[in-house]
Amino acid sequence: MRVALIIPPETHSIESSVPKGLESGKGVYPKLGLLYVAAHLEHATGTSPTVIDCPAERLDHDGLARRVAELRPDLVGLTTLTFNLIDCWKAVRTIKRLVPGTKVCIGGQHVTLYPDETLDLEGVDFVVHGEGERTFTWLVEALGRGDGAAALRKIPGLGFRLDGERFLNPVQDKVDDLDILPMPARHLVDLGRYDHVAAQGERLATMQTSRGCPAKCLFCDIRMTKFRKRSADNVIAELKHLVDQGIDDFFFVDDTITIDRSRLIEICDTIKRSGLKIHFKISARVDTVKPYLLDALAEAGCYRIHYGVETASPRLLKYLQKQTTPEKVSQAFQWTRDAGIGTFAYCMIGIPTETREEMFNTVDFAISLDPDYAQFSICTPYPKTALYESMLGMGIITDDYWRAFARNPTEDFRVRFWNRDFTEEELRDLQSECHRRFYSRLGYIARQARQLRSWHDLRQKVGLGAKILLRQLNR
């Protein structure tokens, strides 16, 4: 069976809480989800799928159409976030028009949130909701055997339409011991095509050492999920494998890799002992780091930690169920700086009931933390998050617009902000002003200039910097 796994073009991604100008200027990461699915399929069946990563290969929809017409796959698997659903569905209809016999399956975070709605989209034959490794392999094996509805109904996490009937099987249990999963099939993509404006090394890769986050942040749809992990040895084996291929810069995409400090210490000590010379960045909660852990991270090659700061207002931190305080945030940033590790501050403005003064307090607070970078997102109730569902429940949001979008993803869709005191335009202007205040400081620009690594680095940063300073982030 000829299987193709596709990351659709991102030419129609809906604008999120971060201006397109900021999002698009950053670079492209390898999509791990699809590479995990590919690896499991290869290991279980020996079938090597063709992976087409349109953003990395700079393929638009016409380019994708040409590739699919050449390949004529029997089954295509596409990955999508809610933000890329328009492109994903556009790709589905292109594939069905060019190769009508091809079966189409969609998976990814969006499908896990809206499996029914995705299955009902024209051209979709199969959906996989939840973790896709095992389900997609079972689907390929079943199609290979020519199984019918009865057999397909036994595959957990699968949704399908067959002979006019439609079924959505219950989601399967999550893999508890992540060590059993084969490492992502990166050999199916060209790792040389990935880079990032804030990278430290020459060749970049994303890696995942754990899944899930027990925290309760209201705006996140991963909240309150069990933390599952890989062993230190399993992680090191993958690191060594990638270092052998010349990768020296790693983005650990774990939601909160610092939940289990002793395991992370073990990973850092093993990296040091093994003599691996790598750079890596992680995401962490301010209440999960300690000086001893930060020292171990620094010695192992950690050059930046991305922290969720959100706001300087204790009242709004409570509203967002962040379970942190400005004091804890300042402490964590101080400790991180003392360990010689850079920082990235994720901040949020336009939180319901937040005042203009509180927003600019957050900018001043971010400046006081002295991070390498700061991002000021506009608080956006994302699909199926507790923030969105609670506002629906309280009747603040009267129409379930994310579900309507999932049912019919059209280009005129706009994310909505819910601070009643400001219009969308006012919030976007405030967002530009926050970025301008943070990034236009002469001391900051001088520091960034001292850290430039190459002409490419200069071009990328000046390009992004100009957009910020000239308030052209929304263009």
Kindly list the residues in this chain that would bind ligand B12 in the complex (CB under 6 A). Answer: 10, 13, 16-18, 23, 29, 31-34, 36-37, 77-79, 81-84, 105, 107-110, 112-113, 128, 131-133, 136, 208, 220-222, 253, 255, 377, 382-383
Q: Measured from the CB atom, is 23 or 269 closer to ligand B12?
A: 23
The SS3 of residue 256 is: coil
CA dihedral 446, 452, 454, 457 (to 10 degrees): -90
Question: Smaller CB distance to ligand B12: residue 80 or 336?
Answer: 80
Q: CA dist 114 to 117, 159, 164, Å?
A: 5, 11, 21
Residue 296 C-beta: closest distance to ligand B12, Å? 23
One-character DSSP codes across 328-359: HHHHHHHHHHHTT-EEEEEEEE--TT--HHHH
Smallest separation (angstroms) from ligand B12 to the CB of 468:
15
Least gap, CB of 317 to ligand B12 (angstroms) = 18
Q: Between 121 and 339, name the residue whose CB sits nearer to ligand B12.
A: 121
Which of 29/227 has CB closer to ligand B12? 29
Shortest reach from residue 149's CB to ligand B12, in Å: 19
User: Which C-beta is closer to ligand B12: that of 78 or that of 339?
Assistant: 78
Task: Compare residues 267 and 378 and give the one whose CB is closer to ligand B12.
Answer: 378
Rounded Cα distance, 217 and 386, in Å: 8
Burial class from Cβ neighbours inside 10 Å (0-12, 13-18, 19+) for residue 372 reads middle
Task: Give the count of beta carbons closer than 10 Å to the beta carbon of residue 292.
Answer: 12
Which residues share a beta bridge with 210?
229
Kindly give the pairing relationship between strand 165-168 and strand 195-196: unpaired
Q: How far apart are CA 445 and CA 74, in angstroms?
A: 52
Kindly state the smallest distance separating residue 1's Cβ from ligand B12, in Å.
14
- Residue the block writes with tokens 């979008």: 405
Q: Of the two residues 196 and 261, which places its CB atom closer to ligand B12 in the complex? A: 196
> Smallest gap, in angstroms, from Cβ of residue 239 to ligand B12?
17
Considering the complex, what minimum distance in angstroms separates the CB of residue 439 from ligand B12? 17
CB of 382 to ligand B12, least distance (A): 6
Which residue, 131 or 335, is less far from ligand B12 as judged by CB? 131
Pairwise CA distance, residues 461 & 446, whole Å:
13
Supply the DSSP string of 272-303, one letter for each residue: HHHT---EEEEEE-GGG--HHHHHHHHHHTEE
Q: Which is nearer to ligand B12, 25 or 132 (CB)?
A: 132
Distance (Å, whole) CA 417 – CA 14: 14
CB of residue 77 to ligand B12, shortest distance in Å:
3
Q: CA–CA separation, 94 vs 123, rounded Å? A: 9
In degrees rounded to 5, what are phi and psi of residue 146? 75, 30
Question: 107 forms bridges with which residues in the sheet?
Answer: 79, 128
